[in-house]
């Protein structure tokens, strides 16, 4: 446990509260209805080292689960934009073929048996595969055998890196998600806990796999900050901004950024920011040597 108290008190004991995460929409400060949204960004390479940025947006609303797929090339030109709308069962399984210049793009998906938890992102029973010029550049899901029977590629080893993930989470005291900070490394349970009710000196806790890795005391004085924790032996820089929780509306959001760096042999990408430009920063230069994976959490308080 890391104690960030300015005055060096001993660490406080905070009991684990039951998660109050909810998948129900809430009203945002703009008056619009917020929905669960997870945006995942992958950087992919062909065998000739051509780069692509693939952005997947998983959504969940009253109609069900949806998915949008956007494929950009290294010049930030959008090559493909595919939307699988919630509730349209005929599109839960299918494929799309298109030709953009000299590029032949094939997108295959099957979400008909996908299983979901609190997150709009499925955890099993699905696949998504993207092929460019018969080169498999991205494959997600746990249905590899089904994919092998459907696609014709020169190699079945996709070359991609998970660059960034942005997720909206909801709760009263506890906000949780799952994250994979390192390539094909372990998937971790990440929990943010902050009880603002009945106290003038709230405390912020961050737990990874149930273990408290960060504690911020005197939060009203330190509503923004950053610190480094270790996950899988890797340094992970944690940034937090809970100003809206403390001084804004009751349903305001707090922002958290978890960012880790790997060696060039294991990963390529670039820095991401905590603000709205979090995804565009690395799109401008997909060959950048500023290597990082970023997890951005927008934590909304339920009334």
What are 50-77's pLDDT values in tens digits? 899 999 999 988 888 889 999 998 888 8
Tens-digit pLDDT profile for residues 88-143? 655 688 889 888 888 899 999 999 899 988 789 998 999 999 999 889 999 999 99
The pLDDT mean for the chain works out to 77
Residue partners of 207: CB distance under 8 A and separation at least 6: 189, 190, 191, 193, 213
pLDDT of residue 90: 53
| Whether the Cβ atoms of residue 105 and residue 132 lie closer than 8 Å to each other | yes
What is the token pair recorded at 134?
């018969």
Confidence of residue 269 (pLDDT cuts 50, 70, 90): very low
pTM over cut 0.85 = no
Contact by Cβ (8 Å): 279, 41: yes
Q: Where are the alpha helices (DSSP H) in the chain?
A: 144-150, 243-247, 280-283
pLDDT at 265 over 70: no
Q: List strand residue ranges (DSSP E) for the chain, in order.
A: 26-27, 33-34, 36-45, 51-61, 64-73, 78-84, 93-100, 103-110, 127-132, 135-141, 160-171, 174-179, 188-194, 204-208, 211-216, 224-231, 234-241, 253-260, 293-301
**Who's near 66: CB < 8 A, 6+ residues apart?**
58, 59, 60, 83, 84, 85, 86, 120
Q: pLDDT confidence of 46, banded at 50, 70, 90?
A: confident
- C-alpha to C-alpha distance for 92 and 144, rounded to whole angstroms: 17
Domain ranges of the chain: 26-32+163-301, 47-158
What pairs with residue 25 in β-bridges?
none
Q: What is the mean pLDDT of residues 41-53?
A: 87
Would you say 215 and 1 are in contact if contact means Cβ atoms under 8 Å apart?
Answer: yes
Higher pLDDT, 162 or 15: 162
User: 274 burial class (0-12, 13-18, 19+ CB within 10 angstroms)?
Assistant: middle
Pairing of strands 174-179, 253-260: unpaired
CA dist 17 and 141 (Å) reads 32
Whole-number percent of the chain with pLDDT over 90: 37
Amino acid 88: pLDDT: 60
């Amino acid at each position: 446990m890391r104690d960030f108290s300015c005055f060096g008190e001993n660490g406080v004991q905070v009991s684990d509260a039951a998660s109050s995460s909810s998948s129900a929409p809430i009203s945002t400060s703009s008056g619009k209805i917020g929905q669960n949204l997870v945006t995942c960004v992958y950087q992919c390479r062909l065998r000739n080292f051509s780069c692509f940025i693939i952005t997947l947006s998983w959504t969940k609303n009253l109609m069900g689960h949806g998915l949008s797929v956007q494929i950009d090339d290294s010049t930030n030109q959008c090559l493909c934009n595919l939307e699988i709308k919630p509730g349209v069962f005929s599109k839960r399984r299918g494929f799309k073929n298109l030709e953009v210049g000299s590029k032949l793009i094939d997108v295959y998906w099957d979400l008909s048996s996908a299983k979901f938890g609190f997150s709009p992102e499925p955890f099993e029973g699905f696949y998504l595969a993207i092929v460019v010029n018969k080169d498999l550049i991205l494959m997600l899901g746990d249905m590899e055998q089904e994919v092998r029977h459907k696609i014709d590629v020169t190699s079945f080893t996709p070359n991609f890196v998970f660059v960034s993930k942005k997720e909206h989470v909801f709760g009263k005291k506890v906000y949780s998600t799952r994250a994979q900070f390192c390539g094909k490394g372990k998937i971790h349970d990440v929990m943010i806990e902050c009880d603002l009710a009945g106290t003038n000196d709230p405390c912020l806790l961050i737990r990874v796999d149930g273990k408290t890795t960060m504690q911020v005391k005197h939060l009203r004085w330190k509503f923004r900050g950053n610190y480094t924790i270790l996950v899988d032996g890797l340094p992970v820089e944690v940034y937090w901004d809970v100003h809206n929780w403390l001084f804004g509306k009751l349903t305001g959001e707090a922002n958290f950024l978890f960012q880790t760096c790997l060696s060039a042999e294991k990963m390529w990408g670039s820095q991401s920011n905590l603000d709205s430009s979090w995804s565009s920063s690395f799109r401008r230069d997909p060959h950048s040597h500023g290597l990082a994976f970023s997890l951005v959490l927008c934590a909304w308080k339920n009334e």
